[in-house]
């Protein structure tokens, strides 16, 4: 064993599983150890792992190698990831999509954006359930599933995660990213051009409502996409019920009130800063559509507030309370609330952002932190107004 690989008490090194991921064995079981050369922000990932969500990978412990590299000891998902399994049946894609969206929504509600949703970052447990990994770890091969605004400005948001989720499900239906041309030019520059200036074609395998939803999720304008992972999941569930054969059900469909059971591990899940540094129709002749081929109205109907009129975003006032040494609670009031309103928020350093359904969010903040908020109307009536509230700051 080289000095770059850690020694895990009670386990012996077995073999590599992939780049920077290794299998360790003990008489009682197996674990995967991931080395992180560029660890993500610890605070956000501590929040995610603290959720204990069944759709987020289990991390048992963390530490540093003798060479100083951070490593995570994770549950070994022997069924691997989704990258090599596509194409999959439509029903299975709907099932997986619901599970990923549920995990993303749990993270978004906690104020964490994933930043790298793609098939390789979705692992399958022994029951075939999907589990998200690598929260905040920006992989070098993320481009084929990346939202346009991330390429142009580096700004990650809830709706950027929705874009990547749509691209991931398209991949699962077809077998490759919607922006990759099999046997074509898939250089970095070519992929960027397709993402920025094109629109993926239909998969040719999905029912029309699902094709429209994926197209909407991958629209260049973030305001046109589903407003949240939860909104995306609700539409997926509707599509399933609209198209599924009589008597069939989606396997392992989860909601916040009905999480999938998980077997108890003999490892404790640590919440120290170190332990949470990471979570851990295709042919070369495919037709690319220009953005001006998109319909003028959203292809998927959005909830409507009767009588709502287009106009500026309501004025928002943000207040801050320190909950404990590591958490600030930002809450806000605003004028003229309507049913279905959601709230976009961002920190003053642009390192954190998200969308929530209630007018408050708890954020990891051992020091000072400022937040701005913007109301998002369900009917899109204020979509053209990107005005943010004055900063609310806590110390």
Catalytic positions are 116
The sheet with strand 59-64 has its strands ordered as: 12-18, 21-26, 29-36, 70-75, 59-64
Q: Extract the runs of DSSP E, i.e. beta strands, from the chain.
A: 12-18, 21-26, 29-36, 59-64, 70-75, 122-124, 130-132, 198-199, 289-290, 316-324, 327-334, 342-347, 353-356, 360-364, 369-376, 392-394
Average pLDDT taken over every residue of the chain: 77
- pLDDT at position 179 over 80: yes
**pTM for the full model?**
0.62
Note the pLDDT of residue 245. 63
Q: Where are the domains of the chain?
A: 12-75, 90-255+269-284, 316-394
- Fold of the domain spanning 90-255+269-284: Transferase(Phosphotransferase); domain 1 (1.10.510)
- Kindly indicate the confidence band of residue 383, based on its pLDDT and cuts at 50, 70 and 90: low
Which CATH superfamily is 12-75 part of? Answer: Phosphorylase Kinase; domain 1 (3.30.200.20)
Q: What is the pLDDT of residue 253?
A: 41
12-75 and 90-255+269-284 have identical folds:
no
User: Which helix or strand (DSSP H or E) is residue 234 part of?
Assistant: helix 229-243
Measured CA angle at 124 (ends 273, 249), to 5 deg: 125
- CATH-assigned architecture of domain 316-394: Sandwich (2.60)
Region 278-283 average pLDDT: 32
pLDDT computed for residue 255 by the predictor: 38
Range scoring the smallest mean pLDDT among 88-102, 186-200, 233-247, 304-318: 304-318
pLDDT per residue as tens digits for the range 159-169:
999 999 999 99
Band of pLDDT at residue 156, cut at 50, 70 and 90: confident
Residue 259, pLDDT above cutoff 50: no
Predicted pLDDT of residue 212: 94
From CA 281, how far away is CA 110, in angstroms rounded? Answer: 36
Residue ranges with strand state E in 91-235: 122-124, 130-132, 198-199
């Amino acid at each position: 064993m080289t000095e770059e690989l850690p020694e895990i008490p009670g386990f012996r090194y077995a073999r590599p599983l992939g780049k920077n991921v290794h299998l360790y064995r003990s008489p009682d079981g197996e674990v995967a150890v991931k080395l992180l050369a560029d660890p993500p922000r610890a605070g956000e990932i501590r929040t995610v792992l603290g959720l204990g969500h069944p759709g987020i990978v289990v991390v048992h412990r963390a530490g540093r190698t003798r060479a100083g590299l951070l490593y995570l000891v994770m549950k070994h998902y022997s069924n691997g990831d989704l990258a090599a399994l596509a194409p999959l049946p439509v029903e299975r894609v709907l099932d997986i999509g619901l599970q990923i969206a549920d995990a993303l929504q749990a993270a978004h509600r906690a104020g964490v954006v994933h930043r790298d949703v793609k098939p390789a970052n979705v692992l399958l447990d022994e029951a075939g359930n999907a589990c998200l990994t690598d929260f905040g770890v920006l992989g070098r091969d993320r481009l084929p599933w990346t939202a346009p605004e991330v390429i142009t400005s580096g700004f990650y948001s809830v709706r950027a995660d929705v874009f990547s989720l749509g691209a991931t499900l398209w991949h699962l239906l077809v077998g490759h990213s919607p922006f990759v041309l099999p046997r074509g030019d898939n250089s970095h520059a070519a992929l960027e051009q397709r993402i920025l200036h094109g629109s993926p074609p239909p998969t040719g395998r999905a029912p029309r409502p699902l094709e429209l939803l994926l197209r909407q999720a991958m629209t260049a304008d973030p305001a046109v996409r589903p407003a949240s992972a939860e909104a995306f999941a609700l539409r997926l569930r509707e599509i399933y019920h609209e198209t599924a054969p009589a008597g069939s059900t989606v396997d392992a469909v989860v909601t916040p009130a009905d999480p999938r059971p998980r077997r108890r591990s003999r490892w404790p899940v640590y919440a120290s800063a170190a332990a949470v540094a990471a979570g851990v129709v295709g042919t070369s002749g495919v037709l690319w559509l220009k953005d001006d081929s998109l319909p003028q109205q959203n292809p998927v109907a959005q909830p409507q507030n009767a009588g709502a009129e287009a106009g500026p975003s309501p004025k928002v006032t943000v207040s801050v309370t320190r909950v404990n040494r590591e958490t600030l609670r930002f809450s806000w009031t605003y004028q003229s609330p309507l049913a279905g309103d959601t709230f976009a928020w961002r920190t003053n350093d642009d390192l954190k952002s998200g969308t929530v359904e209630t007018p408050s969010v708890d954020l990891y903040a051992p020091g000072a932190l400022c937040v701005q908020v913007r109301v998002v109307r369900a009917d899109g009536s204020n979509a053209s107004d990107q005005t943010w509230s004055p900063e609310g700051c806590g110390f």
